[in-house]
Amino acid sequence: MVFNSYTFIVFFAIVLVLHNLPFAWKTKKINLLLASYLFYALWNPPFILLLWLSTVVDYYMAKLIAIEQRPRNRKLLLTVSLVLNLGMLSYFKYGGFLLENFTALLSAMGIVYQAARPDIILPVGISFYTFVTLSYTLDVYRRKFAPEPSFLNFALFVTYFPHLVAGPIVRPEDLIPQFKTPRRATSEQLSWGLFLLSLGLFMKVTIADGLLADPADLIFGLPFPVQSLDAWMGVLAFSGQIFCDFAGYSTCAIGVSLCLGFELPDNFRYPYAAIGFSDFWRRWHITLSTWLRDYLYIPLGGNRHGAFKTYVNLMITMLLGGLWHGASWTFVVWGGLHGLFLCLERFWRNRASRRRAMRTDAIPVESVVSRAAVIPPIRLSNPLAQFGLAMLTLFLVNITWVFFRAPTFGGATLLLLSMFGVIPNGAPMLTNLAILTVSSVTIGIILCHWLMRNSSLLALSKRLPWWGLSLGWSSLLILVILTQKSSGSFIYFQF
């Protein structure tokens, strides 16, 4: 069951009605929990056992960790949780990948080994709910969050259906406190939640699937070079598709949750208007980037042990972030490129900060050293310079998307060579209409992100007259209905 299906509309209507009936708060939470299990089980019922196992183990491990005072035993209990969660994730998501690379390694050493290819089905959402449960256990271990005494609240925190299969990746403080007291959406929350659901479906159904999916699939699926313009159009189509697909799902999830009276964290803030890669990751898949920062980058040492160690920590974090997306070396390269660009940006900002500090004659040496260590972000006052750096960032982001989308390194290399005209006489594949469509949508997305980069959709909606908002909402719904037949599943379900 997905948000862009008629089945979900019926499901959500029933859940919404039950949630607003005069039942006890505990009964309403049980209804939400059962609905969440049904939401997940309709994909593949047996895999709900993995969800139960992860929920039960982390609930009791966290309680034991909280009461245990001996550091060694606390680490042992944490290890049990990590091994179980990461072990399940590794087997189901990376089992085939690890076996394939092990076989290749033996072959390179001259050892012939043919293993039977494992028939492993990837449970939908396992990467997301694994990070949700791990964040809870790790926060309890660090004594940042007290263990939740109610198993019902914790189980609902893990399995709450709006975020279950593709995020946002919630932290315990995001959701558990909201389950402690009765909640019901206000009329403003309900109307805004329904609008966000409509907007998310428009982004997914009309833009991602209706306008951009076919050009992207065509160009990335070809085994031969194409004209440079067609190659760029294919990459830009995927760039817009993955944003509208994933941000569309997150918008739907936030809207659905708001209709029930619960708030989920933002996951996207106009990332294609980012000025630099650090800004990009403050705007793209925010709940993943902050998770990787808090539970991987900072524990590795962050920027506390010198420049070289900082660059190493950045690269490790982004390489593992790439691998989180999929069991393929192309995803690792995608993450590695982002890590490289983050390191280059940090190096540039370090150097610029030192130069500014050296030119500051009136400031004491101690103050200069302190300011240089902080490395404040460079703020460009010239709007044209800001826009130029944003376009450079977007250009490099699109280069990385080639490795994210291409099924093989050969396909990625062929497409990159076509994009930069290294391979002459490429075949023309896209029609003029397709080129015009991709160009128009891309320009529209960039302008929308740039104009909204320091604002919010809610603030904008409050400035619009009621008839303007109603007209826009009606148009979204009509376009979603007209293009519904071409819609497919969300891209991030495969992760």
Active site residues: 325
* 87 touches 133 (CB < 8 A): no
Locate tokens 């004659």: which residue?
361
- Chain mean position to CA 95: 23
| DSSP-assigned states of every residue in 192-216 | HHHHHHHHHHIIIIIIIIIIIHHHH
Six-digit token string for 408: 């093989």
User: Between the CA of residue 161 and those of 40, 124, 175, 197, 252, what are the distances in Å?
Assistant: 8, 12, 12, 14, 12
226: which DSSP letter?
B
What are residue 148's phi and psi, to 5 degrees?
A: -75, 120
| Cα gap 324→240, rounded to integer Å | 21
294: which DSSP letter?
I
Six-digit token string for 14: 């029933």
CB contact set of 169 (below 8 Å; sequence gap of 6+): 128, 131, 132, 135, 163, 287, 288, 291
The reply to whether omega before 168 is within 30° of 0 (cis) is: yes
User: How many residues would you count in the chain?
Assistant: 495
CB contact set of 264 (below 8 Å; sequence gap of 6+): 162, 163, 168, 170, 174, 175, 253, 254, 257, 258
> Residue 249: what residue type?
Y
| Cα gap 36→21, rounded to integer Å | 18
Coil, helix or strand for 454? Answer: coil
| Cα gap 129→11, rounded to integer Å | 21
